[in-house]
Amino acid sequence: MKVLLTHGYFLKEDPAELRIMKPYPPLGILYISAYLNEKGVKNKIFDTTFSSKGELKKCLIEEKPDLVAIYVNLMTKLNVLETIKFIKSKNELIKSKIILGGPEVRYNAEDFLKNGADYVVIGEGEKTFYELILALEQKKELKNVKSIGYIDQNGKATFTPERSLIKNIDELPFPNRGGIQIKDYQNAWKTKYNRDAISVCTMRGCPYTCKWCSRAVYGLTYRRRSPNKVVEELRLITDEYNPDSLWFVDDVFTVSHKWLFKFNDELKKNNLKITYECITRADRMNEEVIAALKESGCFRVWIGAESGSQRIIDVMDRRVKVEQVQKMIQLSNKYGIETGTFIMLGYPGETEKDIEETIHHLVKCSPDHFTITVGYPIKGTEFFQEIEANQTEDFDWEKFSDRERDFKRTYPRRYYNFAVRRVVNEVKYHQKLNGSLFKIDALKFKSKSIAAKAGMWWSKNING
């Protein structure tokens, strides 16, 4: 069987992503590809990141794969639907079956099947996809393949029972980075930042329950590769690509302190020096952990909080104290590690007072970086369940992603665009005021902050 793995992320067609220019390879597909290679199933990857929709279509027509296997997340959903439509409209591709996997699948499976996908793989993909390929090759009954969905003979969407997760993820082969042009990613980074980065995954799942976070793939689990296996992969990456830095895509890098200390020891034992960036939670940090992060090469740590208001953090079930977040950001900085944090505005129940507390929080702990988004409900999350009844308009699934799904918030939607500007400019004002000799710079940000505050008032009281 001819298997083509692909996705729907086209960097050139996305102005926002072009501005950010931090592309990462599609790790999920690279894991699937490596697993199939190990099992002797030939497969090819068409990496869309630096390509175009036209090139993908050309490749499909040329290759005529038996199976087109596509990764889909909420951002790439619409592009993936377009690819499905294309395949279904071409006589040359009449025999190509479409299989979808990735985080967007579990809670949208029926819609994808109705829109042309032949099969969906729910959750962790390696074993399921391999078994599905075998069943299709040997024309066996699909009902025996766990964790898949398909349209049965009666035209009904059918789902098989859930498969248990792979217990020991050390068994998995390293992602097939050789199947794509990693150099293209490195060049894109080098051009923009003078520094490149390669992504690595050491854990699967997260044991926490933040209400807005999607756990559609790995659920409420925590499985970790052993430090020596990770170091083995890092050695290969270093020898092959020699990147300036690594990015651990793990949900909570310091969730196990024991693991971190062992990882640090393993790096030393193997005389491997790395520079890396990771994400974690303040409640899984302390001074000893920060020292270990520094020693093992962490140059930047992202510490989640989402809000500076304890009330909102609690509503989100974030299970962290805002003071802890502030303390860990300051302590990491003291150890010479750059810090970043994520902020989300517009969560249900958030008021202007909470937004002001968020500003106060950011000013107080002064992280080196922060990202700010207006929260949106991802299907399958508790946040989604909470707002489902309060959606402001009918949602056309085929035309929009969850990012465009809106609901009745405390204030009109437009208010939050001003609120984002207010937070960014007010924080910059304080940073400039404290850091620069030229206070005139600070005043520029202050005036923008005041204008944004006026916009908040105007959209709240006059024109929402």
**Residues in contact with ligand SF4 by the rule CB under 6 A:** 206, 208-210, 213, 251-252, 281, 304
For the chain, the distance separating the N- and C-terminal CA atoms, rounded to the nearest angstrom, is 55
Nearest to 370 by CA among 301, 455, 443, 282: 301
Q: Which two tokens stand for residue 104?
A: 């967007």
Q: Which is nearer to ligand SF4, 131 or 283 (CB)?
A: 283
Q: What size, in residues, is the chain?
A: 464
Closest approach of Cβ 341 to ligand SF4, in Å? 12
Closest approach of Cβ 52 to ligand B12, in Å? 15
Q: Quick one: which segment of 98-106, 177-185, 333-341, 418-426 binds ligand B12 (CB under 6 A)?
A: 98-106
Question: Per CB under 6 A, does 130 bind ligand B12?
Answer: no
> 367 is in the binding site of which of ligand SF4, ligand B12, none (Cβ under 5 to 8 A by kind)?
none
Binders in 365-384 for ligand B12, by CB under 6 A: 373, 378
Q: Quick one: which segment of 20-28, 288-296, 405-413, 421-429 binds ligand B12 (CB under 6 A)?
A: 20-28
Closest approach of Cβ 30 to ligand B12, in Å? 8
State the Cα–Cα distance between residues 340 and 316, nearest whole angstrom.
20
Q: Which is nearer to ligand B12, 75 or 363 (CB)?
A: 75
Closest approach of Cβ 463 to ligand B12, in Å? 27
Q: Which residue has the tokens 């890396």?
A: 276
Nearest to 285 by CA among 248, 242, 324: 324
> 254 is in the binding site of which of ligand B12, ligand SF4, none (Cβ under 5 to 8 A by kind)?
none
Q: Which is nearer to ligand SF4, 130 or 218 (CB)?
A: 218
> 277 is in the binding site of which of ligand B12, ligand SF4, none (Cβ under 5 to 8 A by kind)?
none
From 4, 9, 34, 284, residue interacting with ligand B12 (rule: CB under 6 A) = 9
Question: Per CB under 6 A, does 201 bind ligand B12?
Answer: yes
State the Cα–Cα distance between residues 16 and 235, nearest whole angstrom.
33
Q: Which is nearer to ligand B12, 73 or 366 (CB)?
A: 73
Question: SS in 3 state form for 226-273?
Answer: CHHHHHHHHHHHHHHHCCCEEEECCCCCCCCHHHHHHHHHHHHHCCCC
Closest approach of Cβ 215 to ligand SF4, in Å? 6
From 56, 93, 99, 290, residue interacting with ligand B12 (rule: CB under 6 A) = 99
Q: Quick one: which segment of 74-82, 135-143, 223-231, 327-335 binds ligand B12 (CB under 6 A)?
A: 74-82
Q: Which is nearer to ligand B12, 379 or 430 (CB)?
A: 379
Residue 53: CA atoms inside 13 Å, Cβ hemisphere, count? 14
Q: Which is nearer to ligand B12, 144 or 447 (CB)?
A: 144
Which one-letter amino acid corresponds to residue 172? L
| DSSP secondary structure of 407-464 | B--SS-HHHHHHHHHHHHHHHHHHHHHHH-S-HHHHHHHHHHHHHHHHHHHHHHHT--
State the Cα–Cα distance between residues 395 and 404, nearest whole angstrom.
9
Question: Using DSSP, how many helices (H) and how many strands (E) does the chain show?
Answer: 16, 15
CB atoms within 10 A of CB 278: 22
Closest approach of Cβ 433 to ligand B12, in Å? 30
State the Cα–Cα distance between residues 159 and 182, nearest whole angstrom.
36
Question: Per CB under 6 A, does 121 bind ligand B12?
Answer: yes
Q: Which is nearer to ligand SF4, 97 or 361 (CB)?
A: 361
> 330 is in the binding site of which of ligand B12, ligand SF4, none (Cβ under 5 to 8 A by kind)?
none
Q: Output the CA–CA distances (angstroms, integers) from residue 34 to 31, 125, 163, 173, in the order listed.
A: 5, 12, 20, 6
Binders in 250-269 for ligand B12, by CB under 6 A: 251
Q: Quick one: which segment of 26-34, 37-45, 189-197, 321-329 binds ligand B12 (CB under 6 A)?
A: 26-34
Closest approach of Cβ 129 to ligand SF4, in Å? 24
> 208 is in the binding site of which of ligand SF4, ligand B12, none (Cβ under 5 to 8 A by kind)?
ligand SF4
Q: Which is nearer to ligand SF4, 252 or 301 (CB)?
A: 252
Q: Which two tokens stand for residue 278?
A: 């990771």
Q: Quick one: which segment of 27-35, 54-62, 185-193, 337-345 binds ligand B12 (CB under 6 A)?
A: 27-35
CB–CB of 87/93 below 8 Å? yes
Q: Which two tokens stand for residue 346?
A: 């517009």
Nearest to 102 by CA among 73, 133, 68, 131: 73
From 59, 78, 135, 249, residue interacting with ligand B12 (rule: CB under 6 A) = 249
CB–CB of 245/195 below 8 Å? yes
Which one-letter amino acid corresponds to residue 49? T
CB atoms within 10 A of CB 89: 9
State the Cα–Cα distance between residues 147 and 143, nearest whole angstrom.
10
By the criterion CB under 6 A, which residues form the site for ligand B12? 9, 17, 24, 26-29, 31-32, 69-71, 73-76, 99, 101-104, 121, 124-126, 129, 201, 213-214, 216-217, 249, 251, 373, 378
